Structure 1
């Protein structure tokens, strides 16, 4: 286990760029770990997301991971390659491979981070914004990594809603194929609510929806909340909140470099911080998991 860090740590974990923030107060031992995935909208890099949602009140290491082709992995120092992929094929060149790569990279990156940072080996917290929210939801659905608590902000809950949004921006209809339809179904987390809720442990999930977010995203998030509350043994472990005046992004464009926290992002930060202080730290992650496992109802 490495020495306790006192400053922001930037680096690469198993090929994934990251920005890590240590607990404000030393934990007196290995601290919990929260991993995040940023938006493709602003803030669109791990460093910018760390500035928008530092979660400083959570007594845990918050490690903000870079999405594919973003931040240190940008092609030619710009987001043009990401835009080109979205225009080329919103599902098969953009949403599906980005989410799949981010999820597939997680086990090795997590193992590397645990070797380098003074964090414990218990279930982690996960946070995602927009397409990064789809990553967090897929981590929950696949259950390869034990998760103690989760939060998503303006998440891309359904790939088809993301496609419709891109269609509106490009004024070009998407050409659906059987392959694209299957990939989109895999990224429909309302339909996959049974996968999220189907394990013995049902991680508490906070769904944050901006009052001014895209209407389809807001509707999808509300449907996901209802579906999960109907499946969770403790429905209150799924909470949907609306943040006034919050549009889709959490930072001013272009959102590549760290910037001062916007008031709306401050409100989101406070809600997620309270959620993790209760569900990741105060309640005891091991106790919560064991309690879920011991409940034989489904």
Structure 2
């Protein structure tokens, strides 16, 4: 699905990463910048995320970027690539996506500030795997971040694997390398690092009450570890929109609730 055209919508590529940018309400000026990473469930591209969570009415630039292997970065031989990756989905797919996106992050931010003139404070949004990107970027880069919002985030690798094992009826062969990667991707255990980078009062966790049990548990544990703000969205499952053959899936009532929460959250903090 692709995003509907909006007045003044920008599309482009920065630091090799395709993006969709929505300008701030009330003019650009020295506006804040919010970088948004999509899910791997729907919405699974920058265009889809911009249609689903546009942060309607925000006074910031909202810039939605494609994760590696997604959206405009989908390779022509995606089936072969994914087939190989799924031989070890944690080490060959999820961890590489997160690490590459985090490596790209500083260049993306500096490039967007130059291209858009978005020189104000920086906020981050991540959904599901995109939430893991936001958390890793926060913990492992020096880019100043003022506020962060996470929607049904993949807080720990072990929960991501547990969900995949249950949903696909597979057993994951834990190796020492996988255990090491999972220890690094455990943001409940690394909560102190996050608190050093952004105020807990500027951290928001949004959790659908029908999200995966493991994800909801981890979100609650991270909330408690950080004393972060927490919003539960009734009837929201993991994906923010239903799978659809339509060119553009309409914004779901649940996504609209999340959209309103996030727009107000950032406008109060950036």
What is the TM-score of this pair, normalised by structure 1? 0.84
Task: Tell me the distance in 1 between the aligned counterparts of 2:108 and 2:11.
Answer: 13
Task: Tell me the distance in 2 between the aligned counterparts of 1:35 and 1:203.
Answer: 19
Partner of 1:180: 178
Residue 84 of structure 1, CA deviation: 3.1
In structure 2, relative to structure 1, the CA distance for the partners of 1:83 and 1:221 (3 Å cut) is: farther
Residue 135 of structure 1, CA deviation: 0.6
Equivalent pair of 2:44/2:70 in contact (CA under 8 Å): yes
Partner of 2:223: 225
Equivalent pair of 1:193/1:227 in contact (CA under 8 Å): yes
Superposed, 1:232-271 pairs within 5 Å as 238-254=228-244, 258-271=248-261
Partner of 2:118: 119
Task: Tell me the distance in 2 between the aligned counterparts of 1:73 and 1:217.
Answer: 27
Partner of 1:24: 25
Query: How many correspondences in the alignment?
Result: 265
Equivalent pair of 2:206/2:231 in contact (CA under 8 Å): yes
Equivalent pair of 1:43/1:256 in contact (CA under 8 Å): no
Q: Is 2:46 aligned against 1:46?
A: yes
Equivalent pair of 1:18/1:64 in contact (CA under 8 Å): yes
In structure 2, relative to structure 1, the CA distance for the partners of 1:202 and 1:227 (3 Å cut) is: closer
Residue 155 of structure 1, CA deviation: 0.3
Residue 85 of structure 1, CA deviation: 5.4
SS for the counterpart of 1:25 is: coil
Task: Tell me the distance in 2 between the aligned counterparts of 1:203 and 1:271.
Answer: 15
Residue 258 of structure 1, CA deviation: 4.0
Equivalent pair of 1:32/1:124 in contact (CA under 8 Å): yes
Partner of 1:90: 89
In structure 2, relative to structure 1, the CA distance for the partners of 1:93 and 1:124 (3 Å cut) is: same
Partner of 1:276: 266
Q: Give the CA RMSD over aligned residues.
A: 2.1
Equivalent pair of 2:98/2:133 in contact (CA under 8 Å): yes
Q: Comparing 251-260 with 213-222, which one deviates more in the overlay?
A: 251-260
What does the per-residue CA deviation read over 1:62-88, in whole Å, with 9 as the maximum and x for residues that have no partner?
00010010001112286x467535521
Superposed, 1:64-79 pairs within 5 Å as 64-76=64-76
What does the per-residue CA deviation read over 1:198-248, in whole Å, with 9 as the maximum and x for residues that have no partner?
24855711100001100110001000000112xxxxxxxx21110011001
SS for the counterpart of 1:279 is: coil
Equivalent pair of 2:188/2:221 in contact (CA under 8 Å): yes
Instruction: Indicate which of 127, 133, 136 corresponds to 2:134.
Output: 136
Partner of 1:12: 13
Partner of 1:106: 105
Instruction: Indicate which of 165, 170, 187 corresponds to 1:167.
Output: 165
In structure 2, relative to structure 1, the CA distance for the partners of 1:204 and 1:81 (3 Å cut) is: farther
* Gaps in structure 2 of 5+ consecutive residues: 1-5
What does the per-residue CA deviation read over 1:251-290, in whole Å, with 9 as the maximum and x for residues that have no partner?
121589543211000000011111111111xxxxxxxxxx
SS for the counterpart of 1:88 is: coil
Task: Tell me the distance in 2 between the aligned counterparts of 1:134 and 1:255.
Answer: 28
Equivalent pair of 2:60/2:267 in contact (CA under 8 Å): no
Equivalent pair of 1:45/1:256 in contact (CA under 8 Å): no
